[in-house]
């Protein structure tokens, strides 16, 4: 919970700092233009990569395979598009990094490696059982006598 609160507070502070620093170098109009251009180009490229992911997922379905990577990649692309829509340089950089397939694949591989070790499934289940059939047979024998 504290990390979410920290992100909610720190992201706008970082963005305002970057607006001021970059704006002092290139001017206010150029800064605003740069933000709009990166958002437009990023959205167009996110759409292009989204369609590529959709095509790849359809080809996986045709092969009767579950398109797990494509589903997760699509969710990452949607998040990247959201980051690109938000005004700011830091969110644009993160969004652009998430859109490019090599960095997206690297990120997904690291997340998979981190969580795959914790969720190992065992081939057996520990537990106790009681054979009900034997009790029913003995009960039926007693009733017949």
pLDDT band at 140 (very low <50, low <70, confident <90, very high): low
Q: Is 144 exposed, middle or buried (0-12, 13-18, 19+ CB in 10 A)?
A: exposed
Q: Which residues contact 144 (CB under 8 A, 6 or more apart)?
A: none
Segment 65-123, tens digit of pLDDT: 888 888 888 888 888 888 888 888 899 888 888 888 888 888 888 877 777 765 555 66
- Please give the C-alpha separations between residue 116 and each of 21, 59, 66, 109, in angstroms, as whole numbers: 41, 26, 18, 10
Closest CA to 68 of 79, 58, 77, 57: 57
* pTM given for the model: 0.68
Q: CA-based angle 74:80:105, to the nearest 5?
A: 60
Report which DSSP code applies to 64: T
Taking only the tens place, the pLDDT of each residue in 5-35 is: 888 889 889 999 999 999 999 998 999 898 8
């Amino acid at each position: 919970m504290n990390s979410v609160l920290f992100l909610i507070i720190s992201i706008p502070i970082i963005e305002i700092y970057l607006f001021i620093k970059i704006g002092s170098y290139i001017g206010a109009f150029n800064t605003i233009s740069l933000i709009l251009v990166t958002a437009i180009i990023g959205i167009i490229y996110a759409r292009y990569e989204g369609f590529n992911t959709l095509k790849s997922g359809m080809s996986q379905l045709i092969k009767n395979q579950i398109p797990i990577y494509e589903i997760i990649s699509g969710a990452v692309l949607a998040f990247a598009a959201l980051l690109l829509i938000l005004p700011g340089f830091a969110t644009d950089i993160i969004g652009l990094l998430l859109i490019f397939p090599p960095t997206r694949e690297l990120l997904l591989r690291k997340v998979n490696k981190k969580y795959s070790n914790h969720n190992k499934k065992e081939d057996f289940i520990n537990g106790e059982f009681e054979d009900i059939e034997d009790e029913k047979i003995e009960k039926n024998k007693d009733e017949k006598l």
